[in-house]
Amino acid sequence: MRIALAGAGAFGEKHLDGLKNIDGVEIVSIISRTGEQAAETAAKYGAKHSSPDLEDALARDDVDAVILCTPTQMHAEQAIACMKAGKHVQVEIPLADSWADAQAVLKTQQETGLVCMVGHTRRFNPSHQWVHNRIVAGELAIQQMDVQTYFFRRTNINAKGEPRSWTDHLLWHHAAHTVDLFAYQAGKIVQANVIEGPHHPELGIAMDMSIQLKSETGAICTLSLSFNNDGPLGTFFRYICDNGTYIARYDDLVTGREEPVDVSQVAVSMNGIELQDREFIAAIREGREPNSSVAQVFDCYRVLGELEAQLLK
């Protein structure tokens, strides 16, 4: 499986590190904002081609699939370009930053029949997989999810603390993780509400946001998001169930009393990004729809579109 990766920033390198552990995968091409960064990353990971232009990778006969870790605003257009070039594509979360663009990506996937997967990593973290497996087995039912997504990001920097060329978004990026996960664990979302705090004077985005969700099963979710939080960074999920309470912190899981839950046997790796990439590769090889396909996560973007409409009123 010959892969091109576009976007050699902090998250792109997480994918490259995960891909190294998958048999039969070759990193052929690295695309990044500057030719220098693309060449440096290509040398580090053994890719024979690098360029600042995605079109250069799409024109290559030795590229089977593309992983997009580019700025949010480019995701939909680039995912469509990949499929129109005959390449399978995994686009990092979010699929798009508008409901219309999400619809356009799904339409292209249906027309081409190629694998189009979206990087909703929470579906793959062993912690969330453990909960999901118990839900499917009928051993758990979610009553409430309480989720905190907190960063301290008052300047435009990435996860490595480096300057970034694009602006992040609490609704279309960070809320997408929880909106999709809540529906994945508790059923289709039938009610959604949002409020936001003041916008940053330079970045032009809301720095704080609160979202309420309700699923068709009656479960509820409260999501708090902030770029102003000076403390532990990341997203922390509390599952309040009919049979126990569990707190997921990325790939780790504890009970509501902070007792560790062993999730080491849930999958072949403890790395959610690697597991996500394994699913992408396996779906292409097996000619099937992957977990977190554009069709499976599509309703998440319907909800995000409805929430954005509330904010624009």
pLDDT in tens, 219-262: 999 999 999 999 888 999 999 999 999 999 999 999 999 999 99
Asked whether residue 168 falls in the same domain as residue 144, the answer is yes
Output phi, psi for 79, to 5 deg. Answer: -60, -40
Asked whether residue 278 falls in the same domain as residue 232, the answer is no
Q: Is residue 35 part of a domain?
A: yes
Q: Which two tokens stand for residue 234?
A: 């990341």
Q: Is residue 306 part of a domain?
A: no
Residue whose structure tokens are 């290559």: 60
Asked whether residue 111 falls in the same domain as residue 132, the answer is no
Q: Which two tokens stand for residue 111?
A: 């027309």
Whether pTM > 0.75 for this model: the answer is: yes
Asked whether residue 158 falls in the same domain as residue 81, the answer is no
pLDDT in tens, 182-207: 999 999 999 999 999 999 888 888 99
Mean pLDDT of the 290-302 span: 98
Tell me, what DSSP letter sits at residue 5?
Answer: E
Asked whether residue 54 falls in the same domain as residue 148, the answer is no
Q: Name residue 255's beta-bridge partners.
A: 246
Asked whether residue 249 falls in the same domain as residue 280, the answer is no
Tell me if 137 sits within 8 A of 129, measured CB to CB.
no
Q: What is the number of structural domains in the chain? A: 2
Asked whether residue 116 falls in the same domain as residue 129, the answer is no
Asked whether residue 226 falls in the same domain as residue 177, the answer is yes
C-alpha 174/C-alpha 156 separation (Å) is 15
Q: Is residue 226 part of a domain?
A: yes
Asked whether residue 207 falls in the same domain as residue 256, the answer is yes
Q: In which band, very low, low, confident or very high, does the pLDDT at 155 lie, cut at 50, 70 and 90?
A: low
Q: Is residue 71 part of a domain?
A: yes
Cis ω before 163 (30° cut-off from 0): no
Range of the domain at 154: 125-266
C-alpha 144/C-alpha 123 separation (Å) is 18
Tell me if 129 sits within 8 A of 268, measured CB to CB.
no
Domain with residue 87: its CATH number is 3.40.50.720
Q: Is residue 311 part of a domain?
A: no
